[in-house]
Structure 1
Amino acid sequence: MHFETASLFLITASAVQGVVFAKDVGDYIWNITQYQAGLSHGNPADPTTSWYRFTVSGSIHGSIGSESYIPAFEALCTGSGAGFPLSSDYSDCAMDSTPDESALSVSARIVPYVDNTQAHIAINYVFSTTDEARNYTATAVTDWARLRAPYNFTLSPNEVP
Structure 2
Amino acid sequence: MRNLMTYRGLNLFLVVMAVVAMAFALLFLQRYMGFAPCPLCVFQRIGLMVMGVFALLAVLINPKRGAIRLLLWLGSLLGILWSTFVAARHVWIQHLPPDQVPSCGPGLDYWLEALPMQEVVHQVLSGSGECAVVAWRFLGLSIPEQALIVFVFLTLVHGVILLRILRK
TM-score normalised per structure 2: 0.23
Q: Which has the larger radius of gyration?
A: 2
TM-score, with normalisation over the residues of structure 1?
A: 0.24
Whose strand fraction is larger, Structure 1's or Structure 2's? 1
